[in-house]
Structure 1
Amino acid sequence: MSDKRVTMKDIAKEAGVSTATVSYVLNYSEKEKISHETRMHIFEVANKLKYVPNMNAKTLASQRSYLVGIIINMEGRNKKSKIYQYYDLSREIQRNLYPKGYDVVLLPAKEMEKDIVIGQKRSLDAVFIFDMDEERLKTIANRFYVPAIFIEGYVEDPIFCKILTDYEKVLQIAEKQLGNSFYVVMEDHFNKNVYETISKRIPPKDIFVNRYDSSLIQFLREHHNQKGLVIGELLGMQVENYADNRNISVVVNSEKDIMLLPDTKVIIVSNKKKAEKAVEIMDRLLRLDNTNEVERVTYIRPEWRDN
């Protein structure tokens, strides 16, 4: 398909779904109920086939391409529970960009050098970059001469804008919900600051990092009848299968459509707020609107609901 423009029909054939389903997913329509697994599969196929929306009309009418890239670290250590969070955040960003006339291209980076070169060939107005280590963040940022906004990734250089979860506040809320002693179950973040912040409060033996070589079941057995903070809704659903849900609090990314048991305590770190802030910063940087006054570090503060 390298000599032929990839269409939604091509994606539908490869994914084994209808063209209408592909259209609903890629246009982020909420009119039809489509499972998260199907959405993720369609996004993955679209990226595999290097699908690019038709932006010719918009580009001719403006010097901008009206195309924004989202770079997602897809290395092998990222498990599906974490990738789900990436796609949910991508969807929220797209929802904020669509009324402004922008389309989004997902750039999942498995082979960093190769995949970023592909992104460079597209005329992007800005890029959002999810959870990468500082060395790679710098490498990527130096490849793009457009605003680069990091979400859940930290780089010391003050020229770059970062949007981060306020994990210190998350731990404070967890103390109110669970008491002074609790374990933590979390994803394997490339941003080392996340683990460092948590480990200042929680002993390493009480922190489970969701890697392929680690056993969540074994960890929960070792912490039987203890209280725990779980960061991530899909991880929370897994923990509910092996621990008393009354003893856990789960960090989720939306106050709506929560998939956990009704009486599980939750802490909300809104992907909607992350997306709104990211697009607001992008707008100001593109307009060159007092760029020196644009916040370089924005912390998204959590909210909580005690069921």
Structure 2
Amino acid sequence: MSAKRVTMKDIAREAGVSTATVSYVLNYSNKEKISHETRMRIFEAANKLKYVPNMNAKSLASKRSYMVGIIINIEAENKKSKLHNYYDLAREMQRKLNALGYDVLLLPSKEVMKDLEIGQKRSLDAIFIVDLDKGTFKKIANQFYVPAIFIDGYIEDDIFYKILTDFDEVMDKAEEYLGKDYYVVMDDYSNKTSLETIEKRVPREDIFINKYENNLREFLEKRKDKKGLVLGELLGMQLERYVDNKNLCVVVNSEKDIMLLPDTKRIIVSNREKAERAVEVMEKLLRLENKEENNHVIYIKSLKNK
């Protein structure tokens, strides 16, 4: 006997919200104002219940499924500041993909190997993987039979395209704002490429990794006379509580950021641009274009502040 299909009603019951709210969130509708906390609760409930959306009937009329997967690697101890960035990226990607006629299977995954099987069963046209460590990649590399594009994760294999923040350029801009002597506060990413780049410019003892066991206030107390670079808006808001914001520069993911204090210095690395470039790569691969192209790494630079 087949297992009962999980519905939006089931997710609503698990998350303690209305079915309409679940529909708005899972379809990324902007018609209703829904808090970030509520969105997070719904995504977590959908992942827990292994929710899989209905396939669009148009898949029956063509060889394509018009379904694309997004796997977000969310380990059990990830902080909300990191998840906020990744769900914002997923929202931008879904907007772009929906406009092109694709449905999206979003898998916020604590067990990438297991959730990858769900994606494989859905006959996806392509798959995007966000923040994957090298060890897990090696385990799944031979399981892809559709275009796989990695975002915020560098894999030393030219078969796969990578969309990465240009951290060398971000660090150059940070020096313009802060000088050469500053500390860095960042989340704990599975792929360590960004950390390796930062460590070339900032001493390891001046880099704070946002883990539950690490004490941010203690770290800041020892660096009262230094300026700081913060990766992420929610982390930036947290530091504004403890540090004079004139001594901070925050890397944000939107031109329309309104969460930080108005005079806090910002470096904008747009999730919208990252999503657009990733989807452009997917379309080229599906059309079998650029097969001989050697540059499979695309770096996203910061936007000029207006």
Q: Which TM-score band applies after superposition, normalised by the shorter structure?
A: over 0.9
Higher mean displacement: 141-150 or 45-54: 45-54
Distance in 2 (CA, whole Å) between partners of 1:127 and 1:174 is 33
Please report the RMSD computed on the Cα atoms of aligned residues, expressed in angstroms. Answer: 1.7
Pairing 1:70–2:62 present: no
**Which residue matches 1:93?**
93
**Which residue matches 1:6?**
6
Counterpart amino acid of residue 226 in structure 1: K
Query: Structure 1 pair 224/70, CA: closer, same or farther in 2 (3 Å)?
Result: same
**Which residue matches 1:210?**
210
**Which residue matches 2:242?**
242
Residues 176-207 of structure 1, C-alpha deviations (whole Å, 9 max, x = no match): 11112111001112222211111111111111
Pairing 1:200–2:200 present: yes
Structure 1 segments of 4+ aligned residues over 4 angstroms from their partners: none
Distance in 2 (CA, whole Å) between partners of 1:112 and 1:97 is 22
Distance in 2 (CA, whole Å) between partners of 1:20 and 1:14 is 14
Percent identity, aligned pairs only? 67
Pairing 1:279–2:295 present: no
> How many residues are aligned here?
306
Distance in 2 (CA, whole Å) between partners of 1:116 and 1:219 is 38
Counterpart amino acid of residue 219 in structure 2: F
Pairing 1:81–2:81 present: yes
Counterpart amino acid of residue 13 in structure 2: K
Distance in 2 (CA, whole Å) between partners of 1:304 and 1:205 is 30
Counterpart amino acid of residue 16 in structure 1: G
Aligned partner of residue 214 in structure 2, secondary structure = coil
Question: TM-score normalised to the size of structure 1?
Answer: 0.95
Question: TM-score normalised to the size of structure 2?
Answer: 0.95
Contact kept, 8 Å, 1:65 with 1:123, in 2: the verdict is: yes
Query: Structure 1 pair 180/49, CA: closer, same or farther in 2 (3 Å)?
Result: same
Aligned partner of residue 292 in structure 2, secondary structure = helix
Query: Structure 1 pair 294/60, CA: closer, same or farther in 2 (3 Å)?
Result: farther
Contact kept, 8 Å, 2:75 with 2:109, in 1: the verdict is: yes
Unmatched runs of 5 consecutive residues or more in structure 2: none
Matches within 5 A, 1:1-307: 3-293=3-293, 295-305=295-305
Residues 188-246 of structure 1, C-alpha deviations (whole Å, 9 max, x = no match): 12222211111111111111111121111110111113110000111111111111111
Higher mean displacement: 189-198 or 1-10: 1-10
